[in-house]
Amino acid sequence: MILARLILGLLSLSPMTGYELKKHFDSSINHFWNADKAQIYRTLTKLVQDGHATVTVIRQSNYPDRQEHHITELGREMLVQWLQTDVTAHIPREPFMARLFFAAELDRTGVVDLVEARRVATQDLLDDYLSQREDIDMRAAADRRSFLMAATLDNSIRHQEAELQWLEAVAEHLP
Amino acid sequence: MILARLILGLLSLSPMTGYELKKHFDSSINHFWNADKAQIYRTLTKLVQDGHATVTVIRQSNYPDRQEHHITELGREMLVQWLQTDVTAHIPREPFMARLFFAAELDRTGVVDLVEARRVATQDLLDDYLSQREDIDMRAAADRRSFLMAATLDNSIRHQEAELQWLEAVAEHLP
DNA sequence: CGTGGCTAGTCGATCAATCAACCGAGAAAT
DNA sequence: ATTTCTCGGTTGATTGATCGACTAGCCACG
């Protein structure tokens, strides 16, 4: 459901092939959503079936045909409608917390290792996000669209920072 | 997969029925994982099939029979093994970020409303976590198991706090 | 001359999650 | 007297996500 909306959102910016959508997911969307290739193509099929998008096949000389997907008026309406529906609380699932919750089955060193491994993984993610952030800055602040896109990245950054601080506190006070 | 592990973790603390497992999920686990009733029962069936748990039926006078599930030695081994496997980065999916990313399709007021609704939802969650936190405190810090369980709750609290701060920043700088 | 990467997509299988309905009994509340 | 709550569990259907394999031509590198 949400994948369909994200795809509609991207198509609202510009017509695209499934392949290009996948690239966007892997670059700009990756900090809050990821999508499987197969799932993108299947969702595109459904969007076309539902009249939210149309396909235009474009021949290319040196590359395979492009199945360019365009958002329709109906699709645009659905997109705006979704944006306006109620915000419902959503508890993300955190596999690491699942582990830590039961980590007392390990000895102290085991727990320390777990926390340290998480710290490294978190720092890597944060570094990645920070370098993405550098590529946008400044010119972004002006128009609302760019501001919001940057803001979602800032959200991920703040969460990773909070995670790091929490990890330090855990490492420090672990009995 | 992770659900199976969480269930094993709970069973390692004490034998339980599916019904009781569901209650634990709804109370202590709810801040980082939630589980559907049907899924819990199906996973229990699989745990028994795989030899990670056993069932004992206990007759009761005024209540239905209890299908008490006990963790086996193999189950305990699987649990510890899982705790020791590599920590892999995991990007949680955030439906709200999905919306905000494309919220420029709305007018400014629309975006402000969206952010405000999120703020209310976040504050509610935070209040819930904080009241859960009050019920544990103090005596917890001592042994490692209680410490870790409290720590996962602290993690959720820190993330909600970070979310609130970010929301304030967004509301303040939104062009 | 071969290998690997980029473009662009398709198909099948499997699993996990979610929703909704249904069963039945006792106990407490109105 | 009747509804609602708690206990305890089951089934079916559907959707979404995930993984892997397969097709196929072009380009650049060594």
| pLDDT score of A27 more than 80 | yes
Which chain A residue's Cα is nearest to B3? Answer: A98
Q: Within 7 A of a protein CB, which nucleotides of strand D?
A: 7-13, 15-21, 24-27
CB contact under 8 A, A32 and B103: no
Report the pLDDT value the prediction gives residue B137, as an integer from 0 to 100.
Answer: 66
Q: How confident is the model at residue B3 (pLDDT cuts 50, 70, 90)?
A: very high
pLDDT digits (tens, 9 = 90+) for B99-121: 999 999 999 999 999 999 999 99
CB contact set of A129 (below 8 Å; sequence gap of 6+)? A31, A153, A156, A157, A160
Q: How confident is the model at residue A62 (pLDDT cuts 50, 70, 90)?
A: confident
B24 CA → D1 C1’, Å:
36
Token pair in block for residue B106? 């709305």
Q: What percent of chain B has pLDDT over 90?
A: 88
B54 beta carbon to strand D: under 7 Å = no
Average pLDDT, chain B: 94
Nearest to A91 among B31, B86, B144 (CB): B31
Q: Which of B175, B103, B117, B111 is nearest to A9 (CA)?
A: B103
A161 exposure class (CB count in 10 Å sphere: 0-12, 13-18, 19+) = middle
Report the pLDDT value the prediction gives residue A140, as an integer from 0 to 100.
Answer: 58
B67 beta carbon to strand D: under 7 Å = yes
d(CA A82, CA A7): 13
d(CA A101, CA A96): 9
- pTM above 0.85? yes
Query: What is the maximal distance between C-alpha atoms in chain A?
Result: 66
Q: What is the mean pLDDT of residues A25-34?
A: 96
CB contact under 8 A, A102 and B143: no
Report the pLDDT value the prediction gives residue B140, as an integer from 0 to 100.
Answer: 58
Q: What is the mean pLDDT of residues A128-143?
A: 82
Q: What is the mean pLDDT of residues B76-89?
A: 93
Q: How confident is the model at residue B61 (pLDDT cuts 50, 70, 90)?
A: confident
A59 CA → D28 C1’, Å:
23
A37 beta carbon to strand C: under 7 Å = yes
Q: How confident is the model at residue A164 (pLDDT cuts 50, 70, 90)?
A: very high
Of the residues B10, B31, B87, B90, the best mutation for testing chain A's interface (the one with the most A CB atoms within 10 Å of its CB) is: B87
Chain B environment of A25 (Cβ under 8 Å): none
Structure-derived torsion over alpha carbons of residues B118, B122, B125, B131, reported in degrees to the nearest 10: -150
Q: How confident is the model at residue A36 (pLDDT cuts 50, 70, 90)?
A: very high
